[in-house]
Chain A
Amino acid sequence: MPIQIIAPAPFVDAGDGDDDDEGGVRLDVDNDGDVAMEGDAPSRKTSRHAGRIVTPGELVTDDPQWMRGHGTYLSTTADGSQSIVSSLAGTISKTNKLLSICALRFRYVPEIGDLVVGRILEVQTKRWRVDIAAPHSATLLLSSINLPGGILRKRTSTDELQIRTFFSEGDLLVAEVQTLNSDGQASLHTRSLKYGKLRNGVFLTVDAGMIRRMKSHVLTMPTSNGGGEVDIYLGVNGYIWIAKHTASLSDGAGDKGVSITRLEEEASEAIYSNVNEEISPETRAEISRIGCVIRALVKANIKIDEEMLNLGYEAALEEALQGYDWGSDTAAGKRIVDAALAKRRKT
């Protein structure tokens, strides 16, 4: 005998008191036009509609022509046929015959070539352990950083002894993923003048999925109100660094051609300096404004990219919001985001 289970009574808003029947009953769970239910409706021809939300345990397909990718597993039904079942909550993405599920939220998974912002966790004899918000901490070998006094200098035992003068615990750096081992643990490198220690700015974290992959993850943004230029390092891992613009060493080298002698001069102790430069109050205000724009965009579930950041910043300027925390203030944040989205639709 199948047992019939009565669904719980809908939520009655506290405080409405006696006039429940007047409409104090919140039926959002039942009456909201729910996509999930429509997925089963005959209006959708194919159940494998890309972009549809699937949840763990949901049958994705039992058609044997599909291969299973990330976020799915094979389950054998009673009659021996195999079907692909989702193991995550997310959207289906199809690449030729490969079905995979992209989760709604996930931890950063390093890939070779990613630009990441990281924090030093531990100093070892010949390497550093770096937190990059991935399941495993990354390693940065002493041999994969730019040593002061020239890019092509050989690593010596003196450098090993002085390892803490380059990076010590808690230091922030921007680096690139060089290799991955079989566990998915990343090894980083900073052998370019674009990478290295971070200073003169603020750090913030967002979900890794909120950073859109772009051609360049280092943006230089001209700001208003006498703020000068601001550098934004959008780590693919969801770590973000917003700092006062420093004349890039690589720019300088580019002008005069890559000359080793020049690099030798530039890549001196200064790049591992722990002292902030003088930052004017105007620049500080603009840095915090950009930080708020990023937080407001993330709050509204909008992926961060250069275009949205610029539009959001413009909108924030028009609203003339100063402050340090309207990014998490939903009302102000929402206004900025809506204005930015309106601008994007116009262009």
Chain B
Amino acid sequence: MEGLRNDGRRWNELRRIHCQLSTSGSSADGSAYVEQGFTKVLCTVTGPAEPGSRQRGRSDGATVVCEVYFAAFSGTDRIKRGRNDKKVQELQTAVQKTFASVILTHLLARSEIAISLHVLSQDGGTLAACINATTLALIDAGIPMADYVCACTAGQPAIGLGGGSGGGDDDEPDPYLDVNYLEESDIPSLTVATVGGGEKVAVVSMESRVRIERLEAMLAVGISGCARVREIMDKEVRRYGKEKLDGTGE
């Protein structure tokens, strides 16, 4: 068990990521399904469409709205999360703000883009999986975006893994990439999302305390993880695109 985490990964190893586009067929403009380990999220996007009756829509751009639903069976305990739940609202705002800045909304005047996220199973990194699923669903819907938004989590363990772990000694244990539920509840962790594979950070969210010196290392690991996530998502988009074009039969 030397150098391995509680689920057998190295400190810098991602969980299995499985993603799929157009999962809901023609019932939504765009849809995607993302599994990161045992965290499973389904996202559907409707829009650009006529804004709801509440507002007439901004004349200079599109409005982005987001709704998150937690399935009662998604966590370890059966909890029904209502619409006014703090956690749900926080997730909604995070996703909505992120994508409002990345979607090229000025091209879609007076319209609304509705993102609906269903969290089917939680195993750490819910926000990250939600962001990744939304990115893919927006791509499927053909909504112009500056770049992929890819998210990943990183945690800071108190004691290093020892053994075969890279460079870090016990004074500066290596941060954990892509924490699972056990790690998330055990050690301080943060979620970071980048626009594209570079170092342009769109979201950083941390709900626990950590020593300030450790933050930089955590961020660095998270950002590198995002770049890797982008590659994986890009591969899936291209595979889907190829499949879609192959059928045309030309």
Q: Which residues on A are within 8 Å of B, measured CB to CB? A: 1-11, 29, 32, 34-36, 51, 53, 55-57, 71, 73, 85, 87-91, 103-107, 135-137, 183, 205-207, 298, 300-303, 341, 344
Q: Which residues of A contact B15 (CB under 8 A)?
A: 8
Minimum C-beta distance from B35 to chain A (A)? 10
B residues with a Cβ closer than 8 A to A are 9-10, 12-18, 22, 26, 29-30, 47-50, 104, 108-111, 139-142, 144-148, 166-167, 177, 195-197, 220-221, 224-225, 227-228, 232, 234-249
A-B contact pairs, 18 of them (CB 8 A): A3-B12, A3-B220, A4-B166, A5-B13, A5-B14, A7-B228, A8-B13, A8-B16, A9-B16, A35-B242, A51-B245, A56-B148, A89-B241, A91-B245, A104-B240, A105-B22, A106-B142, A301-B247
Selected from B224, B236, B248, the residue in CB contact (under 8 A) with A5 is B224
Residues of A contacting B247 in the complex (Cβ-Cβ under 8 angstroms):
300-302
A172, B18: Cα distance in complex, Å = 41
Instruction: Find chain A residues with CB under 8 A from B166 CB.
Output: 4
Asked if residues A34 and B48 are in contact (CB atoms below 8 Å), the reply is: no
Q: How far is the CB of B54 from the nearest CB of chain A, in Å?
A: 16
List 20 extra interface pairs beyond A8-B16, A55-B139, A107-B47, CB under 8 A. Answer: A4-B166, A5-B14, A5-B227, A8-B15, A11-B18, A53-B238, A53-B245, A57-B195, A71-B144, A88-B144, A89-B140, A89-B241, A104-B241, A105-B30, A105-B141, A107-B48, A135-B49, A135-B50, A205-B26, A301-B248
Contacts of B239 in A (CB 8 A): 32, 34
- Residues of chain B lying within 8 A (CB to CB) of residue A103: 142
Minimum C-beta distance from B104 to chain A (A): 6
Q: Is the CB of B241 within 8 A of A90?
A: yes
Complex CA–CA separation, A207 to B248 (angstroms): 14
Given A4-B12, A135-B49, A183-B109, CB of A53 within 8 Å of CB of B242:
yes
From A71, A135, A207, contact of B111 by CB (8 A): A135
Query: Which residues of B are found within 8 Å of A302, using beta-carbon distances?
Result: 247-249
Q: Is the interface of A mostly helix, strand, loop or mixed?
A: loop
Bound together, the chains give a CA A126 to CA B229 distance in angstroms of 53
Most buried by A among B26, B29, B146, B228: B26
Q: How far is the CA of A129 from the CA of B240 in the complex (A)?
A: 36
Q: Which residues of A contact B246 (CB under 8 A)?
A: 301
Q: Total A-B residue pairs with C-beta atoms closer than 8 Å?
A: 146
Contact of B147 among A11, A57, A136, A301 (CB under 8 A): A57
Q: Is B177 a contact partner of A5 (Cβ separation < 8 A)? A: yes
Q: Would you call B241 and A53 a contact (CB within 8 A)? A: yes
Contact across chains for B142 and A104 when beta carbons are under 8 A apart: yes
For the complex, what is the distance from the CA of A302 to the CA of B244, rounded to whole Å? 9
Q: Which residue of B lies closest to A28 (CB)?
A: B239
Min CB distance A182 to B, Å, is 9
User: CB distance A36 to B234 under 8 Å?
Assistant: yes
Query: Which residue from chain A places its CB closest to the CB of B195 in the assembled complex?
Result: A57
**Residue numbers in B under 8 Å from A183 (CB-CB):** 109-110
The 6 A-B residue pairs with the shortest CB-CB distance, nearest first, are: A301-B247, A57-B147, A106-B142, A103-B142, A36-B238, A87-B144
Chain A: which residue is nearest B49 at the CB level?
A135
Report the Cα distance A51→B241, complex, angstroms: 11
- A158 to B243 Cα, complex, angstroms: 55
CA separation between A6 and B232, bound complex, in Å? 12
Most chain B C-beta atoms within 10 Å of own C-beta, residue among A11, A104, A206: A104
Q: Which residues of A contact B16 (CB under 8 A)?
A: 8-11
- Given the interface pairs A56-B148, A135-B108, the reply to whether A89 lies near B14 with Cβ below 8 Å is no
Among candidates A56, A104, A107, residue contacting B145 with C-beta atoms closer than 8 Å: A56
Interface centre among B148, B235, B238 (most CB of A within 10 A): B238
Q: Which residues of A contact B220 (CB under 8 A)?
A: 3
> Most chain-B Cβ atoms within 10 A of its Cβ — which of A1, A8, A53, A71?
A8
B202 CB, nearest partner CB in chain A, Å: 13
CA distance A85 to B167 in the complex (A): 38
How distant is A5 from chain B, measured CB to nearest CB, in Å?
4
Also in contact, A55 and B238, with CB within 8 A (given A6-B10, A136-B110): yes
Complex: chain B residue closest to A32, CB-CB: B239
Contact of A56 among B12, B139, B221 (CB under 8 A): B139
Given contacts A29-B235, A104-B241, contact A8 B147 (CB under 8 A): no
Once the chains are docked, how many angstroms separate the CA of A57 from the CA of B13?
Answer: 25
A residues in contact with B111, CB < 8 Å = 135-136
Q: How far is the CA of A90 from the CA of B225 in the complex (A)?
A: 26
A35, A88, A207, A300: which contacts B238 (Cβ < 8 A)?
A: A35
Contact (Cβ within 8 A) B221 A3:
yes
Residues of chain A within 8 A of B110, CB atoms compared = 136, 183
Least Cβ distance of A154 to chain B in Å? 32
Residue of B nearest to A30 (CB): B235
In Å, the complex CA distance between A302 and B250 comes to: 9
| A332 smallest CB distance to B (angstroms) | 17
State the CA gap A345–B198 with chains docked (Å). Answer: 46
